[in-house]
Chain A
Amino acid sequence: DAMVIQNPRYQVTQFGKPVTLSCSQTLNHNVMYWYQQKSSQAPKLLFHYYDKDFNNEADTPDNFQSRRPNTSFCFLDIRSPGLGDAAMYLCATSRTGTSGTEQYFGPGTRLTVT
Chain B
Amino acid sequence: AQKVTQAQTEISVVEKEDVTLDCVYETRDTTYYLFWYKQPPSGELVFLIRRNSFDEQNEISGRYSWNFQKSTSSFNFTITASQVVDSAVYFCALSNAGNNRKLIWGLGTSLAVNP
Question: Does A63 make an interface contact (CB < 8 A)?
Answer: no
Task: Give CA–CA (A92, B107) in the complex, Å.
Answer: 19
Chain A interface size band reads: 20 to 34
B97/A99 in contact, CB under 8 A: yes
Nearest CB on B from A21, distance (A) = 14
Residues of A within 8 A of B47 (CB): 102-105
**8 Å CB interface, B83-105 against A:** 91, 95-103, 105
- Determine, out of B16-24, B37-45, B66-74, the stretch whose residues face the partner at the interface: B37-45
Q: Say whether, besides A31-B101, A45-B102, A94-B101, A100 and B52 are in contact (CB < 8 Å).
A: yes
Task: Give CA–CA (A87, B51) in the complex, Å.
Answer: 30
Question: Does A60 make an interface contact (CB < 8 A)?
Answer: no
State the interface size on chain B (CB cutoff 8 A): 26
Residues of B within 8 A of A106 (CB): 44
B97/A88 in contact, CB under 8 A: no
B101/A99 in contact, CB under 8 A: yes
> A102: which of B43, B50, B91, B100 is its contact (CB, 8 Å)?
B50
Task: Give CA–CA (A92, B32) in the complex, Å.
Answer: 20
A107/B52 in contact, CB under 8 A: no
Question: Does B64 make an interface contact (CB < 8 A)?
Answer: no
B interface, CB within 8 angstroms of A: 32-33, 35, 37, 42-47, 50, 52, 91, 95-103, 105-108
